Amino acid sequence: MLDSVKPAIPELPKNRAELNDLLKKDFTILNESAAVDAYTGGEYHPGGVALSILQRQCPYCQFVFTASRREGCFSSNIIPHDCPNCHFPGNVLNAILAPIKE
């Protein structure tokens, strides 16, 4: 799957309430491959580590990109976590931490 054409990045809201509302949004998973065993690439069996490929859409700039999900007994992660186009949610967190108008 190819990543979509990069859309324009919208401006961040100027007040804390709107930034907090934006931060509550989550990525949409448009498509997910079947899980395979992360170590052998073969069929996944419960108790192992599963690896799958996701097609995600950023809730902020609507960019569609490819990511991987790795899940085991004690952990789960998706790489990349931030949007490669606008860096959501990192861009929102940085704006909240920076001095802004109330």
Radius of gyration of the chain (CA): 17
Q: Which pair of structure tokens corresponds to residue 85?
A: 């186009």
3 state SS for 24-76: CCCCEEEEECCCEECCCCCECCCCCCEEEEEEEECCCCCCEEEEEEEECCCCE
Q: Which pair of structure tokens corresponds to residue 1?
A: 């799957």
User: What whole-number percentage of the chain has pLDDT above 90?
Assistant: 34
Average pLDDT, the chain: 84
pLDDT at 11 over 60: yes
Q: What is the mean pLDDT of residues 52-73?
A: 92
Residue 4, pLDDT score: 57
CB 52 within 8 A of CB 33: yes
